[in-house]
A and B are shown apart, each in its own frame.
Chain A
Amino acid sequence: MDMNVKKKLGLKEKYALMTRSLGWETSYEPMDAVFPQTRYEGIRIHDWDKWEDPFRLTMDAYWKYQAEKERKLYAIVDAYAQNNGHLGVTDARYINALKIFLSAVPSLEYNAHRGFARLGRELPGVGPQIACQMQAIDEIRHAQTQIHSLSNYNRFYNGFHDWKHMNDRLWYLSVPKSFFEDACTCGPFEFIIAIGFSFEYVLTNLVFVPFISGAAYNGDMGAMTFGFSAQSDEARHMTLGLEVIKFMLEQDPANLPIIQAWIDKWVWRGVRLLSIVAMLMDYMLPKRIMSWKEAWEVYFEENGMALFKDLARYGIKVPDCVELIKKEKDHLSHQAWNAFYTAGKMTNFHTWLPTEEEMDWLSSKYPDTFDRLYRPRFEHYREMEKQGKRFYNTTLPMLCQVCQIPMLFTEADDPTQISYRQVTHQGDKYHFCSDHCQHIFEREPDKYVEAWLPAHQIWQGNCFAEGADPGAPDFDPLKSVLDYWHLVYGRDNLDFEGSEDQKNFAAWRAQATRN
């Protein structure tokens, strides 16, 4: 850090002068009025001064380092666009992974940006405040670098064109949307456990590996570059997440049960959110890195468990849901892809059946389940395709009230039985995909009854195109809902085979590789 001072001060001391010594105990206004959000969650903090700064970055150094990163990143993004780098990706199916990315992830980053801004304002200790502020400004960086890097794909391919509109409306995008809005509507302490710890620290590798290494493996320099460029920010965010949880646990033993409940909830919420990543790894990357199951084993069962072992001295236990996830890992990606393949009329990306070769890869990675349970299903679809009857399901699935994923997961010990839970609350019935989602609901029913479930909203008539008349004789509800989503039938959706993207990519690539 650029701090030349006359007196020899230790780094830690210097940084304290640059940060925490700026604050003071207010007296013209009560501290509780200046920081009104710190008490209601029941977390007890006795001494904010005990906070250990997880990194020591002053603003001048921050501007300097970050600007250097931006300069490099945008140079690569510009060159990649100029040279039509998109024509160098493994195969045009890959681009569909980016459509999911754009319509889901920048909005998550954006919510993280605003959420951390709130913490940067509301946490009473200057040390954690400033650490959160830096994460807040980093997160808008992530949103913007993602949008800017993928902007060029939008110029040439379908499905990207109205990502923000879709993020607020499209059925499957309510899964990431509700996850982050759930976190952002929590108190500051739960928010930072949810995002700073459970998401950034425990699960972030499981997002990073498939998207960023996936991009690298599949020849996508553009997406790879913003991913790698975000890595040094993520390293700071992860140390913040870990520092926060340790600090809270050390401040008061009464914090432990509250924090444990939050960890249980948010690890489960996070893993459910990752279902889509699981399917992306196993089905959407033409060149695969590793299977979802392998990634889960390395990044959660090994690395994640080491972390929980480290936290055991505070009394933190491994969340119960881990047992179920272990059982689900053989099924998750196949069930998810099956759901999206069949819902292919209602997606902003193309779907397809795995090739023979890809199915063999899946068999080798999932020897206990793929051939027995999932290959036959895909072969059946293939038969239908051959007869010109590509299967599309257009009925609206029932959604889990908490994670908002359609009821597509099976019972852990019986893959023929859809897992389904039900609770009656104040006279209304609510449905859940699992015990864990049910428990989350039962702890805070008032919160989760307010969920905006796309399928339910469609049934209630809240998702038709502007000005549509559902009473008209020629009213086509599916078409009207697609219009509400701004999803262009025949261009954004349906099978990859025969799509405009497929044809354009082939033609453009031929043009660019012809001698």
Chain B
Amino acid sequence: MHIDLRTVAITPLRHTFDHIARRIGADKAASRYQEGTLDIQPSANLQYRPTWDPAHQLYDPARTAIVMQDWYAFKDPRQFYYGTYTLARARMQEAAEAGFDFVETRGLGDLMPDDVRRRALDVLVPLRHVAYGANLNNVGMCAYGYGTAVTQPCMYQGMDHLGIAQYLTRIGLWLAGPAELEDGRSHWLGDGRWQPLRRQVENSLVVKDWFELFVAQNLVQDGLLYPLVYAHFVDRRLNAEGGAAVSMVCAFMNEWFAESSRWVDATVKTAAAESPANAALIAGWLAHWRGRVREALLPVAELAFDQDGEKVLDTVTEAFDARVAKLGVALKEGGHV
């Protein structure tokens, strides 16, 4: 049966679902971000104890020491739900693809000075494993976190890190070949300059409090590593020395870091603003991980900048501290290390 419908205006009975209306008012239409996010995690009458964590319920706010009156106070300033997330990333991957295409078809890798290519590979290839660790951590935060408003973007963040690990893999293949990936891997596993960072990543993989992990991974580790590697090393140093082609294929990482930092900042800010107790917890985690990550990154900074490594890391740390100062969290331990 096919019916020809004329366009008529009929008055709706309601604008959105009740659980959304209770939050935004019944007189407003809700956005797709809101309808696809707010309250959609099961939250009442949960059945059975998880065999993998009998001390908690399946969805349990007590898997972190952070306390929120409303876990949907978290907001992703990017308003990512699956549709907007994939559209945003599809646009970025198209640009990245064009970048790879450009450098590959013009043989720009071969035109690069050998020592510059060597240095780029030495620094970037082992970072595949760091990105993979960040992938696991964020997927874990999605699994064990509370409330879709914060777990959903963790899922996306995890997949972003996987994408970055794969772009780094492509860079290794483009500039050298599969053997280079093997070399990078053995540096990751055995080279003394990578061991502090590997220890840091492995330590983060066993952190049980998912919000502490959020601070350690998304705020501190990414917050120091991305500016150090992609802004200072790739975009400044390599660019200046004839390695502009590398900076073309790292545009994704820079754009991604700027974009995702807005969400990371908003999340930390919201948790800290909830209560002095939260702010104190976050400050403690921040101080702890900031020191550890800096230590872990120092040899990498020296790999990238030789004797200037520490200086560049200091510059990056200063900028990081300025960023954190806006989040409502005190920097303990005298701030600068």
Find out whether the CB atom of B132 lies under 8 angstroms from the CB atom of A34: no
What B residues does A157 contact at CB under 8 A?
A: 13
Which secondary structure dominates where chain A touches chain B? helix
Answer yes or no: A508 CB below 8 A from chain B CBs: yes
What B residues does A111 contact at CB under 8 A?
A: 42
Which A-chain residue is minimally distant from B12 (CB atoms)?
A155
> Which residues 131-165 in B have Cβ within 8 Å of A in the complex?
131-132, 135-136, 139-140, 142-144, 148, 151-152, 155-156, 158-160, 162-163, 165
Interface-lining segment among B80-88, B262-270, B282-290, B305-313: B80-88
Find out whether the CB atom of A59 lies under 8 angstroms from the CB atom of B42: no
**A151-190, CB under 8 A of B: which get 1 and which 0?**
1001111101111110111000010011001101111100
Answer yes or no: A466 CB below 8 A from chain B CBs: no
- Output the least CB separation between A198 and chain B (Å): 18
> Which residues 264-298 in B have Cβ within 8 Å of A in the complex?
none
- Output the least CB separation between A12 and chain B (Å): 13
Interface centre among A37, A113, A169 (most CB of B within 10 A): A113
- Bound Cα distance A74, B39 (Å): 22
- Bound Cα distance A83, B18 (Å): 24
Answer yes or no: B77 CB below 8 A from chain A CBs: no
Which A-chain residue is minimally distant from B10 (CB atoms)?
A508
Find out whether the CB atom of A181 lies under 8 angstroms from the CB atom of B42: yes
- Output the least CB separation between B194 and chain A (Å): 11
Find out whether the CB atom of A486 lies under 8 angstroms from the CB atom of B18: yes
- Bound Cα distance A451, B48 (Å): 6
| Contact with B173, one of A17, A187, A513 (Cβ below 8 angstroms) | A17
Interface centre among A110, A121, A504 (most CB of B within 10 A): A121
- Output the least CB separation between A100 and chain B (Å): 16
What B residues does A451 contact at CB under 8 A?
A: 47-48
Find out whether the CB atom of B41 lies under 8 angstroms from the CB atom of A28: no
Find out whether the CB atom of A450 lies under 8 angstroms from the CB atom of B48: yes
**B1-26, CB under 8 A of A: which get 1 and which 0?**
11111111010111111110000000
| Contact with B170, one of A5, A40, A182 (Cβ below 8 angstroms) | A5
Find out whether the CB atom of B12 lies under 8 angstroms from the CB atom of A144: no
- Output the least CB separation between A207 and chain B (Å): 20
What A residues does B44 contact at CB under 8 A?
A: 168-169
| Contact with B46, one of A148, A160, A181, A187 (Cβ below 8 angstroms) | A181
**A129-161, CB under 8 A of B: which get 1 and which 0?**
110010011001101110110010011111011
Answer yes or no: A414 CB below 8 A from chain B CBs: no
> Which residues 17-72 in B have Cβ within 8 Å of A in the complex?
17-19, 32, 35-36, 39-52, 58-59
- Bound Cα distance A126, B93 (Å): 23
Q: When A110-B41, A143-B40, A168-B45 are in contact, do A187 and B17 touch as well, CB less than 8 Å?
A: no
Find out whether the CB atom of B17 lies under 8 angstroms from the CB atom of A513: no
What B residues does A219 contact at CB under 8 A?
A: 1-3
**A486-509, CB under 8 A of B: which get 1 and which 0?**
100000000000000000100011
- Output the least CB separation between B283 and chain A (Å): 25
- Output the least CB separation between A383 and chain B (Å): 31
- Output the least CB separation between B195 and chain A (Å): 8
Find out whether the CB atom of B58 lies under 8 angstroms from the CB atom of A110: no
- Output the least CB separation between A261 and chain B (Å): 15
| Contact with A164, one of B19, B143, B178 (Cβ below 8 angstroms) | B19
A-B contact sample (12 more), CB < 8 A, given A185-B47, A219-B1: A9-B178, A70-B82, A70-B86, A87-B5, A117-B139, A117-B140, A126-B132, A133-B139, A450-B49, A451-B48, A504-B13, A512-B8
**Residue contacts A-B, CB under 8 angstroms, 17 given:** A21-B185, A27-B202, A28-B203, A29-B205, A59-B166, A70-B83, A73-B83, A87-B5, A88-B3, A137-B82, A147-B40, A151-B16, A158-B13, A168-B43, A169-B45, A177-B42, A178-B47
Top 3 closest pairs, chain A to chain B, by CB: A67-B90, A59-B163, A155-B12
